[in-house]
Amino acid sequence: MPERSAMTASFDEIADNFAFLDEWEDRYRYVIELGKEMPPLDETQKVPATKVEGCASQVWLVPRVDGDGQGARISFDGDSDALIVRGLIAILRALYNGRTAAEIAGIDAHARLGELGLQQHLSAQRSNGLRAMIGRVEAIAAQVREAA
């Protein structure tokens, strides 16, 4: 059941797997696998409100909030027309999903993704817009905190 394992893989598990992969090709192969295993968004969810601007390929993030107040837990689903970007979204979901707004605010996403050797995707000019995606997640978390 590769789909189930990918969906339930925690960020730490992903990071452990990355640690075993010395070759960049194998790291990409793994990112692509994570992307393939991530469930796609429904076409009706791909609307301007969920689209993340600043990405050269198309990216959508759909947030979900479970519970109320300070304990509300945030998750999101996502999709892209680029396979590597889908994989990056899957890694972001592992990093963020099910956490509270306060926890998300405390995560140094750039440092965590740096642990995976994906630094090159974090430069300001990088067209896949990982930076823009992280910005969207952090903005959603900030909104939830303000509402709480």
Partner 1 sequence: MYDVEKVRADFPILSRTVNGKPLVYLDNGASAQKPRAVIDAVTRAYAEEYANVHRGLHFLSNLATEKYEAVRPKLQAFLGAAHEDEIIFTTGSTQGLNLVSYGWAAPRMQAGDEIVLSVMEHHANIVPWHFLRERQGVVLKWVDIDADGGLDPQAVIDAIGPKTKLIALTHMSNVLGSVVDIKTVAAAARARGVAIAVDGSQAAVHMPVDVADLDVDFYAITGHKLYGPSASGALYVRRERYPEIRPFIGGGDMIRQVRKDGIDWNDPPHKFEAGTPGIVQMIGLGAALDYMTGLGMQNIAAHEADLRDYAMARFQGLNWLNLQGTRPDKGAIFSFTIEGAGHAHDISTVVDQRGIAVRAGQHCAEPLMEHLGVHATCRASFGLYNTRAEVDALVDALELCHELFS
- Residues labelled as active-site residues: 55
| Nearest-10 Cα torsion for 1, 89, 141, 107 | 90
Q: Is 70 in the site for partner 1 (CB under 8 A)?
A: no
Place of tokens 């730490």: 12
Q: Is 81 in the site for partner 1 (CB under 8 A)?
A: yes
62, 145, 53, 52: which is closest to 106 by C-alpha? Answer: 145
Question: How near is the Cβ of 33 to partner 1 at its closest, in Å?
Answer: 9
With contacts defined by CB under 8 A, name the span among 20-28, 67-75, 99-107, 130-138 that binds partner 1: 20-28
CA distance 110 to 4: 26
User: Which residues in this chain contact partner 1 in the complex, by CB under 8 A?
Assistant: 24-25, 28-29, 32, 35, 56-57, 80-86, 127-128
